[in-house]
């Protein structure tokens, strides 16, 4: 397909933003593996992020090395939904940018 033509099934970047539920994410990196736009990265929770978690979230984070997924390039998200489908914890939702 010529570069000038756009695939109607793929919206432009910046219309959707992935939101990660810090209470659920276990840093399994399935989102990193499937995202064709390199939106996600696994990183360590900050002290403030850990402090904001419920007891259950803190325990979960501890057992996963206090690591979780981050949408480090959220502006590059095209809203394809592959991350949502791939996440075993159902920790990712796509929200429309307003």
**pLDDT confidence of residue 3:** 42
Length of the chain: 98
| HEC letters along 39-73 | CEEEEECCHHHHHHCCHHHHHHHHHCCCEEEEECC
Q: Which residues of the chain have pLDDT under 70?
A: 1-10
**pLDDT confidence of residue 85:** 97
**pLDDT confidence of residue 1:** 39
Q: Which CATH architecture has domain 16-96?
A: 2-Layer Sandwich (3.30)
| Dist CA 28 CA 41 (whole Å) | 11
**pLDDT confidence of residue 35:** 96
Helix (H, G, I), strand (E, B) or coil at 16: strand
Helices and strands: H and E segment counts in the chain: 4, 4
């Amino acid at each position: 397909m010529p570069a000038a033509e756009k695939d109607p099934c793929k919206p432009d970047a910046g219309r959707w933003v992935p939101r990660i539920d810090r209470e659920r994410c276990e840093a399994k990196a399935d989102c990193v593996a499937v995202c064709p736009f390199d939106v996600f990265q696994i990183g360590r929770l900050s002290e403030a992020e850990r402090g904001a978690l419920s007891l259950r979230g803190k325990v979960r984070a501890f057992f996963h090395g206090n690591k979780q997924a981050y949408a480090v390039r959220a502006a590059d998200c095209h809203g394809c939904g592959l991350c949502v489908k791939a996440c075993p914890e159902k920790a990712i939702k796509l929200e429309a940018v307003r």
